[in-house]
Amino acid sequence: MIDPLLEIGPRVTALPIVHGSGDFAWEVRRIMATHDFDCVAIPLPASFQPAVEQAILNLPKPSIVVQKEMRTEFDTLFVEPSNSTQESDALDEPELGASYVPIDPCQGVIAAIRTAMGEHIPRYFIDLETARFEPHTRLLPDAYALKRVPIQQYAAAVLPFLQAPQQAQWRERIQHMAWQLKQLSVDHERILLITSILDWPWIRAAYMERQLSPLEQDLVHEPETFQVDSETLYFLLGELPFITELYERARAELSDDDALVIDGMKELLITARREYRADYGNRARKITPRLLATITKYIRNLTLIDHGFSPQLVDVVTAAKQVVGDGYALHVLAAAKQYSYGHQLDLPEIRMAIGEAVFPREEGVCKMISRLPGPPMTWSQLELVPRPDPSQASDWKQKWDPYSQCSWPAEDELIENFRQAVFARAAETMGADLAKTEKFTSSVKDGIDIRDTIRHWYDGDIYVKVLPPKQGSLDCAVMLFDSPADPREYPWRTTWFAEHQEESTMAFYASSYLDQPVGPGICLANYGGALFLFPPRTIPDIWLDPRLDFTSTLEERLLAAACLHTKSRHIALVSASPPGTAWRGLAKEFNKTWVHLPLSRFSDSTVQQLRMVHVLNGKQVRSYAADFIRRS
């Protein structure tokens, strides 16, 4: 049963909606599928009906029906005849624009017309013909509330905060639509009115008046239909193009689309992750389910700060940027704007923006006003560093000086902090296998041994741990991020010396930095493995040292160099797998011992950040490198 709150008289039922909302479009389809109506009243002028209904037949291919503004006698009062120059004519000419109807599957009015056409229900376009359309809109509660409350409760909650019509045209349109409903009620018993929630109470009040008369309507241009450039489709659709595509896919597959506005965001992140991996390959950060959960939590918090339930695009991209990096955020942005359902129409194409459009074969920008305005849109600024243009990257590579290179200090500090953490964990591990347990007497020593205490629970004794003193110190660490390493993937092999006493002497193998220019004099490479000596000291380049020529792999050369140059008996080794027989034999020849730390003990995001190394073409590049360096 339709709630009495939505009834306008005995024969008219109003369905107040928020334009451009997928949730309201879903609610319109649900009500029309569960109730019988004789006809549907549409809040658009009759001149739009042929073009709009023809364009709806092309869905899921979106389009736009445009009605250019008609010049009135009032406009000509401000036009002074001038034959001097075209420039003076352009200055005297009053600026005109156009109004339009977005043929958007997630638009409630379009969903109503589409459903009525499919069910062969008569449609009547009842709005007033206006030469220039004056829109009215305002911020409204999030439409996601319809998942928890029925539409009549949503409308009742909004009702106290709605303002009465202030514009003369708005009042005339309300009166005209009410008069049209009176005429329809003569021949139809069950009329469904689809209207903006901002107009609903005033149409109802006007309908209750006893004296209503038709108003004089303006002369208008014949509407034209265009397709919208795919890059600017975002400005036409009420929901994200990606979410709109999911609605259309669910409609075609007859699957549930009740919660697509929220679940679609999760699918957006997964789709962007897939494209991000395909683009970056081995250089892509590993975006785990846990990391995706962190992104969704971040999105939720940003949405709540904006007093909403459904996230906006800027919130989604901001969360992706802050949690993963610019590279993934750019793929999220690109995926959100994708709409691949359907093909291009055989129509002239226009480019859209907020309140503007560029038409084919016309110069300049035309002001655009939606006949079905949703909540107001605003520009949001978010800084993302894009990948360089191929031609620009090629130019940077040609200007590279092969005799001058240095590191990026921010990354030096990051990896030195990691090296300190590796030393600290390795020191804790050294000698841990020699730990003993004994019964508690007068001291807990190095802590209670819970395992042995539980094992001897029957005698009631408490056991404590006794750790041996640390055996020696550490001055060398080897980190193998990719093992076994393919020499073809890591052609860059060098030894870097410390610039100051807080840096290590470092030898490593990495991917070719010239393959990834990111700015003028700035390139990016990925470590495959690295050797650190701290305190720093001068050593021969390990890749040219003939004493290490007996090794056969990149990893063995790093390990052999560590054994050769360390002054400590123990060497910290970070790798995915523990050292095998060959590596243990190599250490034994030098009378050294590996202190192995599994790579899995460190988070994937941390390791991925550490593997990135930006190479600068001279120290002078450091002054502007931060403007180009981003985290993938």
For position 435, what pLDDT does the model report?
66
Please report which confidence band the pLDDT of residue 92 belongs to, taking 50, 70 and 90 as the band edges.
Answer: very low
Q: What is the dihedral of CA 103, 108, 109, 112, to 10 degrees?
A: 100
Q: What sign does the CA torsion over 19, 21, 24, 30 have?
A: positive
- List the alpha helices (DSSP H) in 140-259: 151-158, 168-187, 200-207, 241-253
Mean pLDDT of 98-123: 92
In a 10 Å sphere around its CB, with 0-12 CB exposed, 13-18 middle and 19+ buried, how is residue 623 labelled?
exposed
Structure tokens at 536: 């720093």
- Confidence band, pLDDT 50/70/90 cuts, at residue 80: very low
Of 38-47, 113-122, 200-209, which gets the smallest average pLDDT? Answer: 200-209
Of all helices (H) and strands (E), which one includes residue 103?
strand 97-103
Residue 342: CB partners within 8 Å, gap ≥ 6?
Answer: 59, 60, 61, 248
Both tokens of residue 564?
Answer: 């050769």
Residues 189-195, mean pLDDT to the nearest whole number: 91
**Calpha distance 334→336 (Å, rounded):** 5
CA 224 from chain centre, in angstroms, equals 34
C-alpha to C-alpha distance for 323 and 326, rounded to whole angstroms: 9
If we measure between CA atoms, which residue out of 134, 86, 68 comes closest to residue 359?
68
Evaluate if residue 194 carries a pLDDT over 50: yes
For the chain, the average pLDDT equals 85
Alpha carbon separation from 7 to 1, 193, 201, 409 (Å, rounded): 11, 10, 11, 69
Strands (E), 46-96: 63-68
Give phi and psi for 353, each to the nearest 5. -150, -170
DSSP 163-179: PPP-SHHHHHHHHHHHH
Question: Tens digit of pLDDT for each residue in 478-530?
Answer: 999 988 888 999 999 999 998 888 899 999 999 998 888 888 999 988 899 99
Give residue-wise pLDDT tens across range 354-381.
Answer: 888 988 877 678 899 999 988 887 788 8
**In this structure, which long-range contacts are made by residues 610-613, counting pairs with CB atoms below 8 Å and at least 24 apart in sequence?**
610/414, 610/415, 610/418, 610/479, 610/481, 610/527, 611/481, 611/526, 611/527, 612/283, 612/411, 612/524, 612/525, 612/526, 612/527, 613/407, 613/408, 613/411, 613/510, 613/513, 613/524, 613/525, 613/526, 613/527
Neighbour-count burial of 231, counting CB atoms closer than 10 A to its CB (0-12 exposed, 13-18 middle, 19+ buried): exposed
Quote the pLDDT of residue 342: 65
